[in-house]
A and B are shown apart, each in its own frame.
Chain A
């Protein structure tokens, strides 16, 4: 996973889901291979075999560990962390998730018989019993802890890297909610997908082969979509010249440390951030691009010469009005064009690009 291959479009929200769906599928395949091949191999070569109850850990445990550790590991890859750190944090996430999940399903296994009748107890005692009613808890718990594990790992990372620290309790709680809630939703949806093809008629009915695969993909996919969508702090805003003169010239708007900044564009030959020629309709100090501490980007019209922001079905005139105490400004979005000059001779665009390009 590479931030350079993830443009700042709406699709970026789906990337983590797609990758974790793939991770889930691989986890399913590994678990299936271990159960179908590894177990018999161990049985035939060493005369040993694991208990049937271990199948739960082999499938859900593998899925849970793979998804939550991949989530943290891939974040490390996007942030260009060292490999050792990535492994450490993803291992921590997997350990927290697995131990917590084991504790919960163990506790559930002890508590559930207190509330069931004799007939149902017999079914519960059957390690081979396939039932959504009984297995849903393991699924949802796997989902919850697949969110909690990465959350704990990310909070632990934040202690070492202040840049990752939440700005307050509200973002902290929101992050916790997205991790736990997203995980629970992932677990519940995966349980439904696991159950439905195996239970109801249709082309994929009957068994838990494709149901198991689809559930693993859904578990990873929903986890990736909801728990940790790619944050904006991985990107930085840039100004890029689109018109022929100085085409392709670009500068980042924020400072290298990510702090607030204002970049000036004009034809004044010295001291401006982007020089554009006067003969292309650019005033001496034509416009400025700003970013505040919250990462919001805006453009200000500083000249009486035309400064128009263009986007689909929108045109915003930012020409300087001497009667107003302050220049006009408007927020910027990815690929907004800022047209400068009477005839629009000069065009610059605003782009969100990977921060590390700075």
Chain B
């Protein structure tokens, strides 16, 4: 019997590899995901029950892939991993942060559903520009920061209800980085402490030049080694998120030209990439940059993640312009901020109003989730009539890309999904639904089969063939 089974398996060309794996409830198969090399993150598509179990997701049914050819809906789930250590990383992704393409076509009708808000800690390091310009015009700029930091939604983001392991380090920087009170950086872990610290110390004037790059470098290196912060990161398993807020340029001397910043920025970026590369998983810092004001020129950072910084790329035609009393008065160095954010795995924002600033803080402090499910609907289900590649691209925070192949059955499908009131997507129908098709159909055929004899006998009875005539 064993030999027969083995021979049958050989004849069937059975696969002994894990992939393609069955897509539950459908006649589809799913291949192994193929993440892009050298990405900042690895998108790990959870393709089968084993992967979902290993990822320890709380809702296995939402984790498993699903395809409904009738409605043209495809459902996948994924989590993000560190490309080096493969540690799962929690991130706050929104619909616009993920792009789904199918065979190269961007899917417009999609939805990203986050799962399991992270219970691990987060340390928000607010690195606020304390240079003199922030306090000019009757403290107009620092007032905007003050107003934004005290918005309830921002406080909720820093200290979420479900997570008591978060903390905020409020820092000011000019030529040095200090705690917001002017002392050693310390962490506040309650809303009350946070509000008190912002109210008491933020508006207190300071001055000096803007050593932006040094501050960023410090915040991702030495600061993380400060006893209290190091302890917090270790005890709460927190991920450090640096939010740099400035209203100008990196300006270390009065004679600095814009072009002087190019080699300095390159050093910061190299160091930042090195730090992020060496820290695995949760302790890897993420850097967001926020510019308070207007862009100083129209151009933006050239595309390309690992592009070397040149004076032309950084400053455009303004490379030989002085910063102090020159470019700084025009606007903020949005190009540097974008460069730093890209290398720091975060995002950059340029905002003028307190409301805009609050949104930035909310976004940086947004709840992070362990894994995501993503739904999309193709414009025509005929696209699901051959093998197709689905590309999952993360476009926010850090960049990531993976590709997975789905193969439908060339002959059959499982029962199509059914719509549930209030749900945007169809709910899968159990395969036992096929009995609901089979049994009535068999019943009808049986009925038709008996209809002939029944009519025959009825007719004979009516025509008095079945009993004697009187």
Closest B residue to A11 by CB, please name it: B452
Task: Assess the B449–A335 pair: CB atoms within 8 A.
Answer: no
Task: Assess the B412–A208 pair: CB atoms within 8 A.
Answer: yes
Whether A210 is near chain B, meaning CB under 8 Å from some CB there, is yes
Residues A13-39 near B (CB distance < 8 A): 14-15, 18-19, 21-22, 25-26, 28-29, 31-33, 35-37, 39
Segment of B69-77, B269-277, B282-290, B316-324 engaged in the interface with chain A = B69-77
State how many angstroms separate the Cβ of A350 from the closest Cβ of chain B.
12
Task: Assess the B416–A207 pair: CB atoms within 8 A.
Answer: yes
Whether B200 is near chain A, meaning CB under 8 Å from some CB there, is no
> A5–B449 Cα gap in the complex (Å)?
9
Judged by DSSP, the binding face of A is: helix
Task: Assess the A52–B407 pair: CB atoms within 8 A.
Answer: yes
Q: Which residues of B contact A135 (CB under 8 A)?
A: 410-411
Closest A residue to B23 by CB, please name it: A40
Judged by DSSP, the binding face of B is: loop
Segment of B138-146, B159-167, B187-195, B438-446 engaged in the interface with chain A = B438-446
Interface centre among B409, B411, B465 (most CB of A within 10 A): B411
Whether A111 is near chain B, meaning CB under 8 Å from some CB there, is no
Task: Assess the B452–A6 pair: CB atoms within 8 A.
Answer: yes
Task: Assess the B381–A207 pair: CB atoms within 8 A.
Answer: yes
Q: Which residues of A contact B451 (CB under 8 A)?
A: 11
> A320–B411 Cα gap in the complex (Å)?
67
> A128–B26 Cα gap in the complex (Å)?
13
The contact of A33 among B29, B49, B416, B434, by CB within 8 Å, is B434
Q: Which residues of A contact B71 (CB under 8 A)?
A: 206
Whether A56 is near chain B, meaning CB under 8 Å from some CB there, is yes
Chain B interface residue bracket vs A: 35 or more
Closest B residue to A347 by CB, please name it: B469
- Supposing A242-B465, A244-B469 touch, asked if A51 and B22 sit within 8 A by C-beta, the answer is no
State how many angstroms separate the Cβ of A200 from the closest Cβ of chain B.
10
> A13–B103 Cα gap in the complex (Å)?
51
- Give 1 or 0 for each of B436-470: 1 = CB within 8 Å of chain A CB: 01100110011011111101110000000101111
Task: Assess the A48–B415 pair: CB atoms within 8 A.
Answer: no
Question: How many residues of chain A get a CB closer than 8 Å to chain B's CBs?
Answer: 65
Whether A265 is near chain B, meaning CB under 8 Å from some CB there, is no
Task: Assess the B409–A128 pair: CB atoms within 8 A.
Answer: yes
Task: Assess the A19–B449 pair: CB atoms within 8 A.
Answer: yes
Task: Assess the A15–B18 pair: CB atoms within 8 A.
Answer: no
- Supposing A32-B414, A128-B386, A242-B465 touch, asked if A48 and B9 sit within 8 A by C-beta, the answer is yes
> A262–B349 Cα gap in the complex (Å)?
106
> A244–B467 Cα gap in the complex (Å)?
8
> A347–B470 Cα gap in the complex (Å)?
12
Task: Assess the A123–B411 pair: CB atoms within 8 A.
Answer: no
Q: Which residues of A contact B416 (CB under 8 A)?
A: 206-207, 209
Closest A residue to B450 by CB, please name it: A5
Task: Assess the B408–A209 pair: CB atoms within 8 A.
Answer: no
Q: Which residues of B contact A206 (CB under 8 A)?
A: 69-72, 381, 416
Q: Which residues of B contact A59 (CB under 8 A)?
A: 411-412
Whether A159 is near chain B, meaning CB under 8 Å from some CB there, is no
- Give 1 or 0 for each of A157-191: 1 = CB within 8 Å of chain B CB: 00000000000000000000000000000000000
Q: Which residues of B contact A130 (CB under 8 A)?
A: 385-386, 408, 410-411
Residues B396-417 near A (CB distance < 8 A): 407-416
The contact of A54 among B13, B435, B449, by CB within 8 Å, is B13
Task: Assess the A7–B453 pair: CB atoms within 8 A.
Answer: yes
Whether A94 is near chain B, meaning CB under 8 Å from some CB there, is no
Q: Which residues of A contact B27 (CB under 8 A)?
A: 32, 35-36, 55, 208
- Give 1 or 0 for each of A258-282: 1 = CB within 8 Å of chain B CB: 0000000000000000000000000
Q: Which residues of B contact A207 (CB under 8 A)?
A: 68-70, 381, 413, 416
Beyond A22-B446, A58-B411, A130-B408, 19 extra complex contacts between A and B, CB < 8 Å: A7-B456, A18-B448, A22-B442, A25-B441, A25-B442, A40-B22, A44-B49, A51-B14, A52-B409, A55-B410, A55-B411, A56-B411, A59-B411, A127-B410, A129-B386, A130-B385, A205-B70, A242-B465, A347-B469
